Structure formats: structure tokens, C-alpha cells
Amino acid sequence: MSKVIVLRYGTNPQQAPARVFMKDDSELPISILNGSPGYINLLDALNSWQLVRELKAALDLPAAASFKHVSPAGVAVATPLSETLKKAYFVDDLELSPLATAYARARGSDRLCSFGDFVALSDTVDVPTAKLIAREVSDGIIAPAYESAALEILKAKKQGKYAVVQIDPTYEPASVQEMRDVFGIRFEQRRHDRLVTPADFTNIVTAKKDLPPSAIRDLTLAWITIKYTQSNSVCFISDGQAIGVGAGQQSRIHCVRLAGQKADLWWLRQHPTVLDLPFKPGIKRPDRDNAIDQFLRDDVTPNEKSAWTEIFAHTPRQLTLDEKQQWLSKLDSVTLGSDAFFPFRDSIDRAAASGVRYVLEPGGSARDDTVVQAANEYGMTMIFSGVRLFHH
């Protein structure tokens, strides 16, 4: 541990000098075990660490997050992976520990957005998890501890420049107040230390009231995920992992559309035709991800399609709109979490198209009755938590 970590620069190269330190001049709770993390890396690290720490405490399962630009691209806990998901996540050739399973899920949620991620893990990093991370394009990792062999695997990544951060798992900020400076003006507020509780899921406002244990797990995951996602934010959750995150949008419906599009893409990646795409030997994982994204788009350009000759052994037939809709109709039992209320029913209408059956939002809109009516029409279970979760 040290008192100061000097950074190459701040958010951008022209923002130098830059450093991190404790305002009371005590030692930092983080150590840099390898590499040289930057300003944004450490913002990702500290936000994502809080997320996985809270998930582990709430659900008692290993948790993982894949962060990009201070929002999660993917979040998950260690629930078992089907053979289909193993193939879709490119991990069917690996032996996965529970922690590795959590990261495979988090990384697999949105593989395009996870490219170059910062990884957060709730538990000691083991060899299976390190081996998985070693073959993905990633900028760094934060965890409470590392097995010695796992640390050596990670140190070899990126020609030895991979950022490895260790955090004291017992660390808590000395003050409940936090401050930041914006344009020379100091802001101060209470740190957002409100934790999820079972009472957050008791105010069910729809006719349908069922909440099986799997839904409680996914509601908890949604609550904690959006707490650390840049507002406005919405997330779609399925089987212990985020499958779509809409972050930083000015409109609630745009959050839902973005998250819904990502959830749809996650589901379509599991279509048998996609799983059997004829990739040429040696095609790298990011190139496969980009090709799959193009393959599933309706607006792929002729130039993009012509490049497939370098990727595929033969040009595959794209799925028709009807084939996609038929497959998407099978997506079900999805949980939707929102960091603030829905002002219109349009978000519920869009959510229904991606299999949402459980909805968590604070409530408090002048149109709550219209939103609840929409949820009732789709047979959803809707909870008003009463807790707004803006994060900036």
C-alpha cells in the first residue's frame, strides 16, 4: 500500500498531472500489483468493486462485472452455464470455476461493449478465471486477492502491462460524506451507502404478485447493477446476469430500447444458426464478435458483407426477420430494473417485446396508474421499491 499513486494523465492526455490519494493522508486501500492503471481505469475499478462486493454480500455468490467508461457492460453471479451459453460465450473448451463462470457470464452479456473492459471480481482470483481473462481483450482487473499462479498468468498479459489492482476487502471510507470539485466549485453529499433489503421488493403494485426465488435473485442483481450505472439507466436481467444495460441516456424510453436491443442480441447469439457459423480457423474472438453482430443486423452494408470472405469458410445465409422474431418470442422470465420511475407506458410496451415478466422501479410518476395498467396487460409483476438509484 502507498499514500499516492501518480498517474500518466487524467481523463484525457492533456489533463496532467494526475494522481490518486487519500484526503486524510492515510495509505490507499489499493495496491498496484502489475501495470500502470490510468485515471479512468481506477474510476472503473472503484465503481465496479463496490458493485461486486455488494452483490456477493446480498446473494452469497461469486460476482463479476465487466466495466467500460464507469458503467457495467455486463454483471453476473455464479449460476450454472448451459452448454448453449458456454458455446455462445466461447468458453466451451475451458474448465470453469464458480468465479470464472461469473466472469464468463458478465463478459458474455455484451461482448462488443466488453472489448477492452476493466474486470471486477468479488473473490480471490483463481487459475481458471485468470486463464479466461488472459485470452480476452481487457485493460485491467480489481479483486481482493490473487492466487500466485493466477497472478503470474495475468502479469504476462499485454506484454506485461496488464493492470492488476488489489483492494483491501475490509476497507470502508472513513466518512459518510463525499466531495468532488466541478469547475472550481465543491460539491458535498452523503455517500450512497444505502444497501438493498428484502423490503425493497414487498410493494407489488400489479395484479400478478408471484416472485419466485429466481426473480428475487434477479431483482437484487438489477437493484445493485443500476446503483452503479450512469443515469439514466435500465438493465435487463436473466438467470443471474445482466443481458442488456442502457446507460447514460437522457430519455427513459431510450434506456429501455438500448437495453432491450442488447438483450435481444444476447438471445439471438444463442440461435443454432449463429452457434454454427462457419468461421475459418484462427479467426480471433473480437473478429468473431464483430462478424456475429453484422450477421444479426438487418442493415449490414455490402462492403461489410464482402469482408465476410475473410471471416467465414462460406457466406452464411442471414436469418430472416420472421426467423428472428420467432426465436425472440421464446425469450421469457426477464427482469427489468430502472433507476427512476417510468413516466409513460412506452417503456413497458418495449420491455414486453424482450420477454420481461418482472419490473423493479421506484414509482412516483404522475402516470403510475397508466404504467401499472400496461404491466397488468402483459401479465407482469411490478414492484415499486420507493428507492431512486441515480448515479453520476
Residue 125: C-alpha distances to residues 20, 120, 122, 161 (Å): 25, 10, 9, 18
Q: How many CB atoms lie within 10 A of CB 147?
A: 14
d(CA 246, CA 261): 9
SS3 content of the chain, % helix, strand, coil (to 5): 35, 20, 40
- Give just the sign of the alpha carbon dihedral 286, 290, 291, 295: positive
Residue 219: C-alpha distances to residues 40, 183, 260, 313, 361 (Å): 29, 38, 17, 43, 10
What SS3 state is found at 341? coil
d(CA 52, CA 210): 27
Catalytic residues: 68-69, 232, 392
> Is-contact 156 33, C-beta < 8 A?
no
Q: For residue 190, with 0-12 CB atoms within 10 Å meaning exposed, 13-18 middle and 19 or more buried, which class applies?
A: exposed
What SS3 state is found at 147? coil
